[in-house]
Every structure is written in C-alpha cells, then in structure tokens.
C-alpha cells in the first residue's frame, strides 16, 4: 500500500529566506505526487503535481518541488518566502490510478516578518 510521510510538523522561516517542506513516499510503480495548501477555514488548494521525467516541477505562487527517485522524496521549495505563504501544506500520493489519495500528516509553515 502506498504511504506518504511529512517528517516535520512545523517549519519556521524568515521572510525572504528560502523554504523547504519535506515529503517522502512509498509506492510500488510510478508515483502520482501532489502538493496542496490549506488556509484557515478553507479546503485544500492544488499547488503542483509530479510529471514523470521532470525532476523539478514548477507550480502556483512561485512554489516548486524537487523529485528524487533514489530518495523517494518530493520536497516542496520556494526561493524566497512570504508571510502570506504561512499555511498548512499537504503532500499526497495518488496510487496507480490516482483515485485513492493518501496524504501525509501535514506541515505547518510559519513565515515570520
């Protein structure tokens, strides 16, 4: 069965500094990986997805993700954090058909001015 792990409950970063939110996965076959963001009292919003063959995927709001097959990781990155990036971030894996999504436990990103 597929699984997703986000090892950090919270990441703190100063505004303007680069940020990384970590995600590792376990799946047989090709992974279907996504990043979502959740703001208070809202549903999840899609940020980006892994595209087979692209080790660096660009998404919304200046975010990107680095895929590493040997480390089974899909870390979310941004070169320069904004206070407005503060939110809860979820990594997910869609299984072979992308229908049964498995989510990591979430990482709260706090960007301080």
Partner 1 sequence: EAQVTQNPRYLITVTGKKLTVTCSQNMNHEYMSWYRQDPGLGLRQIYYSMNVEVTDKGDVPEGYKVSRKEKRNFPLILESPSPNQTSLYFCASKSMGYSNQPQHFGDGTRLSIL
> To the nearest whole angstrom, how small is the minimum distance from the Cβ of residue 17 to partner 1?
26
The 84-113 site mask, x for binding partner 1 (CB under 8 A), equals ------x-x-x---xxxxxxxxx-------
Does 34 interact with partner 1 (rule: CB under 8 A)?
Answer: yes
CB 74 within 8 A of CB 66: yes
Q: Which is nearer to partner 1, 15 or 66 (CB)?
A: 66
HEC string for 4-65: EECCCCEEEEECCCCEEECCEEECCCCCCEEEEEECCCCCEEEEEECCCCCCEEECHHHCEE
Pairwise CA distance, residues 6 & 29, whole Å: 20
Return the closest-CA partner of residue 43 out of 8, 87, 5: 87
Near partner 1 by CB under 8 A, which window of 1-9, 17-25, 65-73, 78-86? Answer: 1-9
Binding flags for partner 1, 42-71, as an x/- string (CB under 8 A): xxxxx--xxx--------------------
* Phi–psi pair at 83, nearest 5 degrees: -55, -35
Compare residues 15 and 86 and give the one whose CB is closer to partner 1.
86
Residues in the site for partner 1, rule: CB under 8 A? 4, 6, 9, 32, 34, 36, 41-46, 49-51, 90, 92, 94, 98-106
């Amino acid at each position: 069965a597929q699984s997703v792990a986000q090892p950090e409950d919270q990441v703190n970063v100063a505004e303007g500094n680069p940020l990384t939110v970590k995600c590792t996965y376990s799946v047989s076959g090709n992974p279907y990986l996504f990043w979502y963001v959740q703001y208070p009292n809202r549903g999840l919003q899609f940020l980006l997805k892994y595209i087979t063959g692209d080790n660096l995927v660009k998404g919304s709001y200046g975010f990107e993700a680095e895929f590493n097959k040997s480390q089974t990781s899909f870390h979310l990155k941004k070169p320069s954090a904004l206070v407005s990036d503060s939110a809860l971030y979820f990594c997910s894996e869609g299984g072979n058909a992308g229908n049964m999504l498995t989510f990591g436990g979430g990482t709260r990103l706090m960007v301080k001015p």
